[in-house]
A = this chain, B = another copy of it.
Amino acid sequence: MREVIVAGVGVHPFGKHVDKSLKQLGRFALKSALNDAGLTEKDVQAAFFGNAYGGLITGQESVRGQTVFLYSGISGIPVLNVENACASGSSAFREAWISVASGMYDVALALGVEKLYCNNSPKTMAAIATSSDVDIVGGTGWSFPVWYALRAKIYMEAYGATIEDFARVIVKNTQNGLLNPYAQFHKAMTMEEVLNAREICYPLTLYMCSAIGDGAAAAVLCSKEVAEKHANKPFISVAASQLMSANFKNEPGKPTVEGCAGRKASKLAYEQAGVGPEDIDLVEVHDAFAPAELTAYEEVGLCKDGEGARLLKEGKTLITGEIPVNTSGGLASKGHPVAATGLAQISEVVWQLRGQAGPRQIPGRKKRNGPVYGLTHNGGGTLENDSAAMCIHILKRL
């Protein structure tokens, strides 16, 4: 497997874009990524399209990517539609990486697009609920807030975490989000605002639940030879790419499953990259609900089990901390246009590693001339007490 460069990234600002189609959102992001890479639509040799709910919400199923790419001037190449719930974008990125790393193609495009605002909330909520096993939860009123709330309660009981610990995640992320022009929300929330917001499902209040969103994000991956010709330095390479499905073990009393998808994928990713958590300069985690950011710290090895709340309380994961998490503002600020989320995480890491993150730029670990390693943690769907799909990437500044 050869080295692959993430030569370009692009994001359509996340928000409520009821007047824009999947095609328009997608085209914007892919054009931005191609411009960033110094390449054009004609250079793309293979394209991977991530989308989770187009068929259920917009009515476009089955050939979603082709409809977006054809009218963006990308045709007559291999196009694959990829779906892995909230990890659809990262999964598309991973397939694009394999297609270049294997030597099959020199330039591949990964695009994630989602439209969730449709003036029909029940339709959107029903679509999102299909990211679990509908044979089991279909029609029972099951929804993601309930699932995350149950897990949060187990976590509280096991480790003494408090509602304040969860609220602190939102205070941090909405503060970071102020600095991100691609975020859907630009309002820093106080502890009081988060805690006093209406309860969705104990212990989750409204602002602990990420909002839906419309948006798109893309990445252009290429061989080092192509990057040398077209892209600007510094180059960002893919140091690790791992995807893991639910590893069901029935341990209901435990906050996270031993050997769960997130832990397993992280472990494999560190091995693949030849680094450990102590080498990582920044992390983007899947804070679909506030407590999940704390368990994500533990899954990716930033701290031991049960120490997530303390890590944040001590300020270590603040944008000014030693291992900043969700400098982008996370899903709390960006909202969660499902298949776009993973590629937006990757975009944030690329910008940070290049030193292009503007007011939210981090300095990186000591004795480094700027950040070198960034990790993304993008979870999709649920099966039993695990993520249905977990995608971990480690990017490296060369």
Contact = CB atoms under 8 A, between A and B. Distances in A.
A66 B74 CA distance: 31
A133 B59 contact: no
A52 interface: yes
Interface string A54-86: 011011111111110110001111111111110
B98 A259 contact: no
A274 B102 CA distance: 20
Interface stretch (A245-253, A316-324, A367-375): A245-253
B66 A389 contact: yes
Chain A interface helix/strand/loop/mixed:
mixed
Point out which of A47, A62, A74 has the most chain B C-beta atoms below 10 A from its C-beta.
Answer: A62
Nearest to A58: B134
Contacts of A52: 61-62
Interface string A78-115: 11111111001001000100110111100000000000
A245 B70 contact: yes
B243 A62 contact: no
Nearest to A243: B78
A380 interface: yes
Interface residues of A, number: 65
A98 to B, nearest CB: 6
A78 B244 contact: yes
A19 interface: no
Contact of A98 (B56, B99, B133): B99
B60 A247 contact: no
A192 to B, nearest CB: 36
A389 B60 CA distance: 15
B103 A1 contact: yes
Contact of A61 (B75, B95, B131, B246): B131
Contact of A75 (B1, B60, B84, B247): B247
Given A61-B131, A388-B66, A245 B102 contact: no
A79 B69 CA distance: 25
A1 B98 CA distance: 12
B60 A383 contact: no
A143 interface: no
B78 A62 contact: no
A95 B103 CA distance: 14
11 contacts: A60-B130, A63-B389, A65-B245, A66-B246, A70-B245, A70-B248, A76-B259, A78-B244, A79-B389, A80-B95, A80-B243
Interface of A: 1, 21, 23, 47, 52-53, 55-56, 58-67, 69-70, 74-85, 88, 91, 95, 98-99, 101-104, 127, 130-135, 138, 242-248, 259, 261, 264, 380-381, 383-384, 388-389
